[in-house]
Amino acid sequence: MPAKKKQKLDSKMLDQILEKMVDTVESSKGEIFRIGEQSRQDFESLSEELKEIKVQVLSTIDEGDKLEGQARFARTRLAEVSKHFKSYSEDEIREAYEKAHKLQMELTVIRQKEKQLRDRRDDIERRLIGLQETIERAEALIGQISVVLNYLDSDLRAVGDILEDAKQKQDFGLRIIEAQEEERRRLSREIHDGPAQMLANVMMRSDLIEKIHRERGGEEAIEEIRNLRKMVRNALYEVRRIIYDLRPMALDDLGLVPTLKKYLDTIEDYNKGAAIRFVHIGLDKRLPPKLEVALFRLVQESVQNASKHAAASEVQVKLEIGRDQIVVVIKDNGKGFNVNEKRDKSFGLMGMRERIEILDGELTIDSKLTVGTVVMFRVPLNA
């Protein structure tokens, strides 16, 4: 009995410690988020200023070049007048000198202005690099803190009753949470870059319709409404694509082969520039659900890499289901990459390798610059 009482007391103390840790980490996460958002706002503001300054620099250079030509001509004229001053009147000599002096002063001013604009441009570019690094560090820290928060706030005690080995428990929990956080970040980026941007444009365009109707008439307003309708339709398509990417419902009902075929047809419709061809050979049978999900995600990641990052115009997907193993080949004619070059942020390839390792399979990637990429993975059916 005394031993049980002590264990219960320790459990309460541990809960209190965990709660304090969660509160502290949550507060830190909020502060880092505010720093990141402020840096993002400053980045956008400076980016707009940089665009304006670049335009001013080009305009100032052009104006300076014109003044340079005029000043050179005026100096030549002044030298000519000075050389033959007896042939010119006093007014002509004075006019030549004043004109050359005036143009030289204007040229000096415009060159000084150009230098100031260049210095401001260089300073903004340096600040933008620093802000971008701050934003990336803030996002990375928020992701890491989210992992810690989820780990602390999850049912770790229940998992601890099942997993007796502490190291196994830690690896198990952290890998799951890291995968969740990475998926959330990816989904957040897709929504921010896709539907969120489209809807923001819709809001701005909708504010213009009344002004266009009042200033330019009904026909142009109707045309603007048509454009607005297209933007809303595109946003809807993008939302449906994101929902479909999260979890295709047909995978549970129809199996891997029909779902892959439907998914690739859908991706081909969304990416008009890429033709996707799917070939299935071998056995036609249902696989274990976890294996079907893993294979679907592997093909999904490979095809997205080919269509989005490699800018491929043609993608071939071949699925072969044998008695002992499954072989999948994804080939594209995109820009390719150097497979020997270290890629620090290739999270997609990293995730594919981890999935293959879990399935006890093999992954090979063959890519050549400007030629394309071939991804092949083999998975044993007893995985």
What pLDDT is recorded for position 329?
Answer: 96
Distance CA 202, CA 32 (A): 31
| Sequence-ordered alpha helix ranges (H) in the chain | 2-83, 90-153, 156-162, 166-191, 197-216, 218-246, 250-253, 256-270, 289-304, 347-358
Task: Assess whether the region 14-153 and the region 250-383 belong to the same CATH fold.
Answer: no
Q: How confident is the model at residue 5 (pLDDT cuts 50, 70, 90)?
A: very low
pLDDT at position 304 over 80:
yes
Tokens standing for residue 20: 């304090």
Looking at per-residue confidence, does 242 or 42 come out higher?
Answer: 42
Distance CA 146, CA 26 (A): 8
Does residue 283 contact residue 235 with C-beta atoms inside 8 Å?
Answer: no
Highest mean pLDDT among 215-219, 237-241, 298-302: 298-302
What pLDDT is recorded for position 15?
Answer: 62
What pLDDT is recorded for position 184?
Answer: 67
CA-closest candidate to residue 106, choices 54, 56, 69, 52 = 69
- When mean pLDDT is compared across 9-13, 80-84, 303-307, the lowest value belongs to 9-13
What pLDDT is recorded for position 166?
Answer: 47
Q: How confident is the model at residue 49 (pLDDT cuts 50, 70, 90)?
A: confident
Distance CA 320, CA 284 (A): 9
Phi, psi angles (nearest 5°) of residue 365: -130, 125
Tens of pLDDT, residue by residue over 98-145, are 888 888 888 888 889 888 988 988 888 888 888 888 888 878 887 777
CA-closest candidate to residue 277, choices 233, 302, 314, 250 = 314
Distance CA 15, CA 23 (A): 12
State what percent of residues in the chain have pLDDT above 70. Answer: 78
Tokens standing for residue 46: 């400076």
CA-closest candidate to residue 299, choices 280, 271, 272, 323 = 280
What pLDDT is recorded for position 342?
Answer: 61
What pLDDT is recorded for position 359?
Answer: 86
Tokens standing for residue 24: 């502290």
Domain 14-153, classified CATH 1.10.287.1490, yes or no: yes
Does residue 231 contact residue 202 with C-beta atoms inside 8 Å?
Answer: yes
Taking CA 116 as the corner, what is the angle to CA 111 and CA 119, rounded to the nearest 5 degrees? 125
Q: How confident is the model at residue 87 (pLDDT cuts 50, 70, 90)?
A: confident
Torsional class of 322: left (φ above 0), alpha (ψ -120 to 50), beta (otherwise): beta
Distance CA 311, CA 72 (A): 51
| Four-residue CA torsion sign, 271, 274, 275, 281 | negative
| Averaged pLDDT for residues 33-44 | 84
Domain ranges in the chain?
A: 14-153, 250-383
CA-closest candidate to residue 360, choices 283, 290, 260, 303 = 290
| Averaged pLDDT for residues 27-53 | 84
Rg (CA), the chain: 32
State what percent of residues in the chain have pLDDT above 90. Answer: 10
pLDDT at position 65 over 80:
yes
Torsional class of 372: left (φ above 0), alpha (ψ -120 to 50), beta (otherwise): left
The top-level CATH class assigned to 250-383 is alpha beta
Looking at per-residue confidence, does 171 or 256 come out higher?
Answer: 256
| Averaged pLDDT for residues 224-249 | 72
Q: What is the DSSP string of 131-160?
A: HHHHHHHHHHHHHHHHHHHHHHHSSHHHHH
Highest mean pLDDT among 113-127, 167-181, 280-294, 318-332: 318-332
Q: How confident is the model at residue 377 (pLDDT cuts 50, 70, 90)?
A: very high
Tokens standing for residue 282: 């071998």
Distances (CA, A) of 229 to 198, 205, 206, 234: 11, 11, 10, 9
Looking at per-residue confidence, does 251 or 364 come out higher?
Answer: 364
Q: Which residues lie below 8 Å from residue 156, measured CB to CB, with a gap of 6+? A: 169, 173
What pLDDT is recorded for position 340?
Answer: 73
Tens of pLDDT, residue by residue over 317-367, are 999 999 899 999 999 998 888 877 765 545 567 778 878 888 889 999 998
Distance CA 122, CA 289 (A): 56
Q: What is the mean pLDDT of the chain?
A: 78
